Amino acid sequence: GQPALWLARGRSRFTTETLHTFYVSYYLYTAGIGTYLYARRRYADFEEMTCATLIGYAVSYVGFDLLPLWGPRWALVDAGLLPIEERRLAGYAVTTWINGIQWDGMALKGGAMPSSHTSTGVVFLYWCWRLWGRRGGIPASIIVAGMAVGAVYGRYHYVTDVVAGAALAYAGIVVARRWIRPERRPG
């Protein structure tokens, strides 16, 4: 019943390319929100958003060192659940780029729990809803949902990694709000 095992089986190159595009979209959206806030001189908002994002990365990367849990692309093959010839997914340009990083480049076997992609995505989602309401929140919800599905589909994360990343983002948002804007503290 492991979605990371069966989700990508038998899918088209187009599906793989679409979900990989969602997966790598996180490289753009945090910088985009940060640039937007900074350019509009919303410095406290910029600091709050950046702080929440950095909390996610700091906790994730410390966790990666302390608990170097292998993502499904490694563990499922090692456990004999995924034939080695199925580990690389077929797509187009984005998939080829990701395959180069994952299989021919610098990817590490650890770094799965929690998903820093999801943590960053949920911070982005929060800020889109906060800044633009439904007009920005609905498209952001689609992008972040696509990224989360893409993370499991591409076998980079298990569903539990994605859930943990979302919980980490929530904690980062709460801490950042209280740390950057102490006047909002209750009591």
Mean pLDDT value across residues 40-57: 93
Measured in Å, how far apart are the chain's first and last C-alpha atoms? Answer: 47
101-105, 115-119, 125-129, 181-185: range with highest mean pLDDT: 125-129
Peptide bond into 139 cis (omega under 30): no
Give the number of C-alpha atoms closer than 13 A to the C-alpha of residue 135, restricted to the C-beta side: 2
Whether pTM > 0.85 for this model: the answer is: yes
Tokens, residue 70: 């292998």
Phi, psi of 86 (to 5 degrees): -95, 0
170 within 8 A of 122, measured Cβ to Cβ? yes
